[in-house]
Amino acid sequence: MVVQKEFIERAHRIVWCTVATVGPDNRPRSRILHPIWEIDKAGELAGWIVTRATPVKVRHLAYSNYLSCSYWEPGHEVAIADCEAGWIDDVATRQRIWELYAAAPAPLGYDFWSVFPDGPAGESPSLLRLTPYRLRLFDVETLTGRKRPPAWP
């Protein structure tokens, strides 16, 4: 649980991450996205991304529903979450996550109304749920081998 909490703190401080997927051609594709993370009711770490279900994202996640989220900041603090991902169509969940983003402090908080004027029930915004199966945290000390990085699991 300590690694999960440290991961959330670091990810929410860095905010934007590189998300990589792999498509049917077995080639990776990366994009910059803005996940938000929480410990769910079952005590599990969950990530959420409000995004557009572009043809590339849909095709890649249909081929392999695994992705990697990589956060980096100039001081070389790194947080990586390797995750299983799935599209969520449930409007109540979409509304809850929309409000979670809106209530978060800047720079993590985000008002999606400016991008998706039809709101969370509209056709344009989509929601991805991320379920991490591996977390990695690095900093200058671990990158230079002066200390071992925390691992989960």
For 87-128, write each residue's pLDDT tens digit: 999 999 999 999 999 999 999 999 999 899 999 999 889 999
pTM summary value: 0.90
For 46-88, write each residue's pLDDT tens digit: 999 999 999 999 999 999 999 999 999 998 899 999 999 999 9
Three-state SS for the chain is CHHHHHHHHHHHHHCCEEEEEECCCCCEEEEEECCEEEECCCCCEEEEEEECCCHHHHHHHHHCCEEEEEEECCCCCEEEEEEEEEEECCHHHHHHHHHHHHHCCCCCCCCHHHCCCCCCCCCCCEEEEEEEEEEEEECHHHHCCCCCCCEEC
Read off the CATH number of the domain in which 15 is found. Answer: 2.30.110.10
Expressed as residue numbers, the domain containing 30 is 2-152
What's the domain count of the chain? 1
